[in-house]
Structure 1
Amino acid sequence: MHFGDFSSVVQLGVGLHLGTALLQIYGEVGLQPMVRSIVRMQNVADDPNHPPDEEHRDELDSLVSRFEVFKIQMFTEYKKYLVINSIVSFILVGILVFISYRSSEQISPQWSIVFVALSILPAPITLFCLWHDATNALRPLLNAADLLEKKMVG
């Protein structure tokens, strides 16, 4: 095997890590159940024909505030993963430059494993960690929203 044999894998790794670094999929997908629940409860709260108890309105305001804090915390956590994936991407660019200069030289099996692992593994691992952490942090808010929605609607 030669260094040049791994240029495509490393290029894929650069794109994968830059894409993951710039991807904010959890904000678009993972938060939607909470957003929809809040919108439904706000619609109920704004209905002049069936105004909710003041206690429910206060709970809703508190829930919305907690959700806003959660989004700020999630964005702060996301920035950590952005830095990690950006660093990996820059390392892979350096490896790509190195490979281009030594493309015809032999590569050891150990280095080939390192190049493939560094190109493929960090992006999905960091994405999974962010998704897992955000889902666990959001679960109590979703549970509180479900309870409040049941009180307000039923």
Structure 2
Amino acid sequence: MQQSGGRRIKRSLFIDASGVRFVRDDEEQQLMQIHLLTDYIGRKQAELLAWNQAQGNVAQMSANRRRMTNIGTFSAYALAYLKSHVDINPGMTCMVRQLEPTSQGIPLEIYCFTRTTMWVEYERIQGDIFDYLITVMPEFGLSLYQQPSGADMRVGLRGETMSQVTADWTRER
């Protein structure tokens, strides 16, 4: 670690599988405005158009054609974000990969190296990266998987809002 000049980040975001879907045309246009995605979307559109045209008439049916997904687009965004990040070492491996889905969601692994080996600085960088990626996920229609809590169950069973449950809990204490 000291000799390489970088410290490894290897952590996953567990994506809620229920939010994974195809990107709609209007969303695609909106995502094109994100400068880190411009090249990716241009390349992906050309790739998908060529593949779908090669399929001929069968591509008229939705299940027979390829389209962009929100999780794939978010993965591309996360990779571009990491590669443009000033604290990530450009001379070392950097990737975002999808791991096997689990009962806790779809793991999207972030694998890269910081420019520093200092522990406190490394933790700050890692925290900043994950804070940002978690916060930007809704722009892609995605969210983290989160196991339901007792409060979530009350909301579902009684039809209460989460703010009502929180207010009740606060009064009870």
Asked if Structure 1 and Structure 2 have the same fold, meaning a TM-score greater than 0.5 normalized by the shorter chain, the answer is: no
Normalization by structure 2: what TM-score?
0.32
More strand by share: 2
The structure showing larger relative contact order (alpha-carbon pairs under 8 Å, at least 6 residues apart) is 1
Normalization by structure 1: what TM-score?
0.35
Larger radius of gyration: 1
More helix by share: 1
